[in-house]
Amino acid sequence: MTTPTIVDSHCHLDFPDFDGEHDALIARAAEAGVTRMVTICTRLRLEPQVRALAERYAPVFYAAGTHPMSAAEEPLTSVDELITLSKHPKFVGIGETGLDYHYTQDSAEVQKTSLRIHIETARETKLPLIIHARAADDDMTQILRDEFKNGAYTCVMHCFSSSAALGKAALDLGFYLSMSGITAFPKSQELRDIFAAAPVDRILVETDSPYLAPPPHRGKRNEPAFSAHTARVGADVFKMEYADFAAQTTANFDRLFWKAA
């Protein structure tokens, strides 16, 4: 019996948590059925290291952008800089970008400016935008909608754990919601209900590793192999067989992240 294959649509393999372990990490992922993963660069000065991982390992693709929590510390990027980076064959998405008012509300204005630059790049390149949203639902909804009126783009709400209203706003624009280990936490029933109300052809699975490990690994370092645990919970949420949910989320990933298909 073969293990159904899935994709970890968002991880951080360049983080020091994984130093010296990449061969073993990717082998464990393959064993769990995780045959592709997108590693995310959150500070553009680190893009060469992230790119090197994608070049070294066939299952690894990458995206790059300026994380909203770093927006005030990093030089503001430009559409031209991001477009140049996006020409690499394994560069598959723009971001992560977004708004985070939980820890970094004082940099809200520069976060918004940075977000709009990333959106314009997603529009120009036709690559999906990867959004991080925390404690900023109203501003996030408004910017995503306003920018969509200026020209369509595609997008995933990564590690979605925001309100039902932001989820609906994103889905109404044709965007995707990504399930992280948070979805599998026992106290996340409200979040599972938001996912259950979404169209299953707009759902992705991710780890956001090394963070947010799902049960039975909660509290430990997360890694791409563990996206299989979240996907099993996702299958339950949508009342599907695991193999069918794995196939559906893989098809969704290939549709959105077309360069990795």
Q: What is the pLDDT along the chain (261 residues), one digit of tens a residue?
A: 789 999 999 999 999 999 999 999 999 999 999 999 999 999 999 999 999 999 999 999 999 999 999 999 999 999 999 999 999 999 999 999 999 999 999 999 999 999 999 999 999 999 999 999 999 999 999 999 999 999 999 999 999 999 999 999 999 999 999 999 999 999 999 999 999 999 999 999 999 999 999 999 999 999 999 999 999 999 999 999 999 999 999 999 999 999 999
Instruction: Give the total number of structural domains in the chain.
Output: 1
Within a domain: 255: yes
Within a domain: 1: no
User: What pLDDT, on a 0 to 100 scale, did the predictor assign at position 185?
Assistant: 97
Report d(CA 231, CA 209) in Å as an integer.
Answer: 15
pTM of the model: 0.97
Q: What is the CATH number of the domain that holds 161?
A: 3.20.20.140
Within a domain: 222: yes
What is the domain extent for residue 108? Answer: 6-260
C-alpha distance across the termini of the chain, in Å: 24
Size of the chain, expressed as the number of residues it contains: 261
Long-range (24+ apart) CB contacts under 8 A made by 242-248 are: 242/4, 243/4, 245/200, 246/4, 246/5, 246/6, 246/33, 247/4, 248/200, 248/201, 248/203
Within a domain: 248: yes
Torsion of CA 172, 69, 135, 221, to 10 degrees: 90
CB 120 within 8 A of CB 80: no
Torsion of CA 106, 108, 110, 111, to 10 degrees: 130
Within a domain: 115: yes
The residue type found at 202 is R
Four-residue CA torsion sign, 70, 8, 83, 155: negative
Q: What 3 state SS string does 204-228 have?
A: EECCCECCCCCCCCCCCCCCHHHHH
Within a domain: 174: yes
Within a domain: 196: yes
Within a domain: 234: yes
CA dist 236 → 35, 72, 136, 172, 181 (Å): 22, 40, 29, 24, 14
User: What pLDDT, on a 0 to 100 scale, did the predictor assign at position 196?
Assistant: 98
CB 23 within 8 A of CB 59: no
